[in-house]
Amino acid sequence: MKILVVGLNHKSAPIEIRERLACDAAERARALRQLKNRFHKAEFVLLSTCNRVELYSAGNRDQGPNSADLAKFLSDFHNVPLKEFQDFLYVYSDEESVSHLLTVASSLDSMVVGEAQIIGQVKESYRLACTAKSTGKVLNRLFHCAFAVSKKVHTTTSIATGRVSVAGVAVELAMQLFADISATHVVVIGAGEMGELLVRHLLHAGCENITVVNRSYERGRSVAKRYGIEAGDWEALPEELIKANIVIASAATQDYLFRKSSFKKIMDSRRQRTLLLIDIAVPRNFEPTINEIENVYLYSIDELSKVAEQNRKAREEDIAKGMQIIHENVTEFIDWFRSRDIGPLIGQMKKKFTQISQNELERFFVGGRQDAPYREVMEVMMKRVVNKLLHCVIKNVNAIAEEQGPAEAAKLVDSIVRQAEKVSSEPSKKEDMES
């Protein structure tokens, strides 16, 4: 089998590309069902967050999907021409795939190193795949390995201290741009997990005048009550923006909440007072050209990277410790992954050895020997020889597995199978045996 990852993230692709391939839970479930219908024996998990879209696959090397198949699926599913995002894609296979998932789940590949949200997102993506029945033995084990490694990295290092979330970095940016954030009026758009996290960070930073506006007023009011802040009506969002100094948006939408033309009217009502907009939603809540309006300062999630890089440098030692933990677990998983292939490979090797013996018998029994009475005895003898040789090979394979690990043993058997395949496919030269 092979394990593949095809994806893009905040390091490989701009937000303009990521938001076109992003998908919510319902879309992910539909995508997984389509993949499973197309590749019945393969396994799939689809991860989609504000910073990445990644498709994980495990399948037969010959019959399962390859990286081109997965890339084309993403293109077809989202109705986005492949040529528009192909150059932003990365592809990992086998050991690199395992290392990548463990690094992602441990938040070491995140824009904000140490953030806790990613493991929840990975778990949710895996849960969706289980519900869609698109996982199997390999990805089940791999994702549970990722969950365990993430927990170990976060509990044995200090990587999760301080502001370690996109929400935290957004608030940190606001604090850098406003000398006294406690005196500002902040509007938080969206009361989901990210919106609630924003509220907590704002309160921790000393901001007291906060209004949360959510499409579901009941959800927004629940969050507001929990933290002692205000809740606003969704229909009155423009009026809330007129009063705000800072707006941080994380609402789940498929299109912009505000475009330049409508937002200019809001700024006119504000009498051109300065407004800071921080848009951490993917897809984005604000049309990028809004930044062209005078006295508006719009930052997208990608523009938080400078603050996030400062965060990363402060955690370099913890990152190194985390990567060591990941490396050890990658080796352990790959040993299991390779060893599970030894049994089928041994079966293939036996089949190829048997084919070679049959080819040689056919070469021998030609011409006058074609109907020789000792043919049956010769066939029995050849079978015994093959079994004894096979026993010698397996004994050596087991010794290598004990001394150097299952991965090396699997490599050896795979090499023998490939060589045997070449020998067994050679054309029979009956004329060489004729007398």
d(CA 67, CA 419): 26
Span between the terminal Cα atoms of the chain, in Å: 46
50 is catalytic: yes
Contact 82, 72 (CB under 8 A): yes
| Euclidean distance between CA atoms 189 and 87, whole angstroms | 33
The residue type at 16: E
Q: Are strands 43-48 and 52-59 parallel, antiparallel or unpaired?
A: antiparallel
The C-alpha angle with vertex 311 and arms to 307 and 317, in degrees rounded to 5, equals: 155
Q: CA–CA separation, 403 vs 216, rounded Å?
A: 61
Are 190 and 167 in contact by the 8 Å Cβ rule? The answer is no
Query: Using CA atoms in the order 402, 407, 408, 411, what is the torsion angle rounded to 10 degrees?
Result: 140
Strands 275-279 and 246-249, by their bridges, are parallel
CA atoms within a 13 Å half-sphere pointing along the CA-CB vector of 18: 24
- Catalytically annotated residue among 23, 50, 130, 207: 50
- DSSP per-residue letters across 354-365: HHHHHHHHHHHS
| Those residues with Cβ within 8 angstroms of residue 430's Cβ, 6 or more apart along the chain or in another chain | 362, 363, 366
- Secondary structure percentages of the chain, helix, strand, coil, to 5: 60, 15, 25
Helix, strand counts (H, E) of the chain: 16, 10
CA atoms within 13 A on the CB side of 319: 16
Cβ density class 228-243: b for 16+ within 10 Å, e for less: ebebbeeeebeebbbe
DSSP strands (E only) in 365-435: none
Catalytic residue ranges = 50
